[in-house]
């Protein structure tokens, strides 16, 4: 099927060469991201050999994308050198201001891989984004013969001529102790001949304010390229979920390309249209190389009022309609993805009991109170009574969490999945042999809370059982600054009935707390799980603040 489509497109491209590239006047551009399972080489191969083998895989992918009239293609983090190669391979990269074209300028000081990829971009007249280790003289050294060098985890962008038009050095390293970072986060952007300016950041950068949020907030970028080698974490940070969430929350077109090694937790790529939702995503459970292509509607440039808080939220109306996907050869096999789990024990939570048909609750943790309205029922039609289903908890957290290599301030209001009545089972999936089960149907969920405004970000966070996310028409997400208060009221509600939901949450970051000590469970909180059982649905419906009852009963 796929090859038929490719051939069809190829012949159209030949017949209508003028339609081949997007221009500044086109309302759309065509993007591709590569979910990429690298060639890890044969025994005895050097990292340079492995790089050559992966370059040899990249070139036909670039050609295939160009045949589908793609304007820009993004490859994942680590894809050329593979995991664990540290800096055994590293190349000098020219400064974008120098407009070096490694394909035509054979005297330029770059690795052969860079030259070949530059030629591939040029031959196929397509923007190409790749990630690889960069070596550079120490910042205080003047030339290569002086001894010291530094290594960066860098992205490099070639334009349609093969010229290096951007270079970005990852700022938030996930461990990766062999790499250096720049003294300040680089706000790296590049313009294109189709009238779109892209911002660049890499993997773990998506968690932090700089450079990711600054690109949108300070520079006003509406399009982002994102090479990643992600480690998925339940219930809030699986790969596609994190990409979709950021894209929606900042209303930015987002091209995320993921390294595919599900057995070590890495999988997940997608093209997302901000508040218009995901256009195409994949999260395969077996190592997979897959070209995802979508036509992306350009967003109107943002009026940037630098330094002003929350500029992206001020009168930023959305005029766009979703653009149709083209050629999304997506399939999924979830069985093999190695998942991390968030440390949920410090959360204030409340079990949603099966008897509750409609309930309202207020739950607080530290300074954050979340209001929940939930209507749910269990659909056991055609199933025997031994069938199992997910169990859900309302959850609130206001504190500092660990991201393994850094810590960060977080404010969360969530409905999240569990496998039994204990909080310790939340964020773990059911065994596949438990698949014969009946479904929990959420007729309605409404979550709201007042989040801290300063130096913060609130994102809608959704996850379905197949590791996809809710489409944009399935929910509503609004932020409303409260005049005179240092808070923002955030509302998130479903617009449809939902089955197979794992997570439905407002996930807030509080960047001012980044770097602080991780929050621990409070001692008197350990029983809140069982206490929730004692609440009758009627009592819960009637009381304004069930949190009071919970505390009272304790
Ligand atoms: C680019 O095109 C030239 C001329 O056809 C060819 O020799 C070269 O192998 C191509 N290189 C790449 C990377 O596509
Ligand atoms: C390179 O730097 C070293 C040490 O700073 C210096 O001794 C040497 O003269 C420099 N070479 C050139 C060609 O500038
Ligand atoms: C590519 O090179 C041609 C000719 O040198 C130039 O006209 C064109 O603007 C360049 N394209 C880009 C995207 O820089
Ligand atoms: C670069 O990183 C290495 C490894 O962590 C470190 O030893 C070195 O001091 C760093 N260099 C600079 C200039 O920061
Ligand atoms: C609940 O699930 C957790 C995690 O899977 C498990 O450790 C615990 O034993 C289970 N508890 C009960 C009562 O089944
Ligand atoms: C907001 O955050 C910035 C940066 O952390 C800080 O300098 C400033 O004092 C904060 N403003 C308020 C009103 O809290």
Instruction: Give domain limits for the chain.
Output: 7-303, 342-519, 520-554
Look up the pTM and report it.
0.86
Smallest-distance ligand from the CA of 121:
1
Q: What is the pLDDT of residue 272?
A: 98
Q: Is the pLDDT of residue 357 over 80?
A: no
Q: What is the pLDDT of residues 383-436, one digit of tens each?
A: 544 567 889 999 999 999 999 999 999 999 999 999 999 999 999 988 765 555
CA-based R_g, the chain, Å: 24
Give me the CATH code for the 7-303 domain, please: 3.60.110.10
Ligand 4 geometric centre to CA of 36 (Å): 30
Q: Which residues 6+ apart lie within 8 Å of 505 measured at CB?
A: 235, 236, 395, 412, 413, 414, 415, 416, 447, 460, 461, 462, 492
CB-based contact 322:332 (threshold 8 Å): no
CA 353 to mean position of chain CA atoms: 32
Q: What is the pLDDT of residues 244-268, one digit of tens each?
A: 999 999 999 999 999 999 998 999 9
**pLDDT band at residue 356 under the 50/70/90 scheme:** low
- pLDDT, mean of residues 216-242: 97
**Residues classed as catalytic:** 77, 170, 203
Q: What is the pLDDT of residues 109-162, one digit of tens each?
A: 999 999 999 999 999 999 999 999 999 988 777 777 666 899 999 999 999 999
Give nearest CA residue, ligand 5 atom 4: 425
Smallest-distance ligand from the CA of 159:
3
d(CA 325, CA 376): 32
Hey, which of 146, 147, 148 would you mutate to test ligand 2's pocket, going by the most ligand atoms within 8 Å of its Cβ? 146
CA 489 to mean position of chain CA atoms: 24
């Amino acid at each position: 099927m796929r090859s038929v489509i490719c051939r069809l497109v190829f012949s159209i491209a030949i017949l209508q060469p003028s339609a081949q590239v997007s221009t500044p006047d086109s309302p759309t551009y065509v993007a591709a991201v590569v979910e990429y399972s690298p060639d890890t080489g044969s025994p005895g191969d050097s990292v340079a050999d492995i790089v050559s083998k992966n370059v040899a895989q990249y070139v036909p992918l670039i050609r295939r994308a160009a045949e589908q009239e793609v304007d820009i293609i993004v490859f994942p983090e680590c894809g050329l050198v593979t995991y664990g190669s540290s800096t055994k391979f590293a190349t000098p990269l020219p400064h974008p201001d120098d407009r070096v074209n490694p394909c035509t300028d054979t005297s330029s000081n770059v690795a052969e891989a860079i030259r070949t990829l530059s030629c591939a971009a040029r031959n196929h007249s397509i923007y190409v984004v790749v990630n690889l280790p960069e070596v550079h003289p120490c910042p205080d050294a003047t030339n290569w013969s002086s001894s010291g060098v530094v290594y960066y985890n860098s992205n490099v962008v070639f334009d349609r001529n093969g010229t290096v038009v951007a270079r970005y050095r990852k700022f938030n390293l996930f461990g990766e102790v062999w790499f250096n970072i720049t003294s300040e986060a680089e706000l790296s952007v590049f313009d294109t001949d189709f009238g779109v300016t892209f911002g660049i950041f890499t993997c773990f950068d998506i968690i932090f304010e700089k450079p990711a949020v600054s690109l949108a907030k300070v520079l006003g970028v509406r399009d982002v390229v994102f090479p990643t080698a992600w480690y998925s974490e339940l219930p809030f940070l699986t790969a596609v979920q994190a990409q979709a969430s950021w894209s929606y929350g900042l209303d930015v077109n987002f091209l995320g390309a993921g390294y595919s090694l599900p057995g070590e937790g890495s999988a997940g790529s997608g093209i997302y249209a901000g508040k218009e939702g995901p256009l195409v995503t994949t999260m395969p459970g077996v190592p997979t190389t897959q070209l995802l292509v979508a036509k992306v509607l350009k967003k109107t440039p943002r009026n940037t009022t630098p330094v002003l808080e929350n500029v992206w939220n001020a009168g930023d109306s959305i005029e766009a309609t979703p653009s149709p996907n083209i050629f999304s050869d997506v399939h999924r096999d979830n069985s093999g993805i190695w998942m991390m789990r968030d440390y949920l024990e410090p959360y204030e939570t409340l079990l949603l009991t099966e008897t509750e048909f409609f309930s309202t609750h207020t739950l607080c943790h530290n300074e954050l109170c979340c209001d929940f309205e939930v209507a749910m029922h269990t659909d056991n039609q055609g199933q025997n009574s031994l069938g199992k289903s997910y169990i859900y908890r309302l959850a609130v957290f206001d504190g500092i969490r660990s991201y393994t290599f850094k810590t960060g301030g977080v404010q969360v209001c969530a409905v999240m999945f569990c496998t039994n009545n204990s909080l310790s089972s939340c964020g773990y999936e059911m065994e596949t042999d438990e698949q014969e089960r009946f479904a929990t149907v959420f007729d309605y969920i409404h979550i709201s809370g007042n989040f801290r405004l300063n130096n913060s970000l609130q994102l809608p966070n959704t996850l379905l059982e197949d590791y996809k996310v809710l489409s944009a028409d399935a929910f509503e997400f609004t932020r409303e600054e409260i005049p005179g208060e240092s808070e923002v009221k955030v509302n998130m509600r479903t617009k449809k009935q939902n089955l197979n939901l794992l997570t439905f949450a407002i996930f807030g970051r509080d960047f001012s707390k980044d770097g602080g000590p991780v929050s621990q469970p409070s001692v008197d909180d350990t029983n809140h799980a069982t206490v929730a059982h004692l609440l009758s649905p009627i009592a819960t419906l009637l009381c304004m603040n069930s949190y009071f009852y919970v505390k009272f009963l304790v």
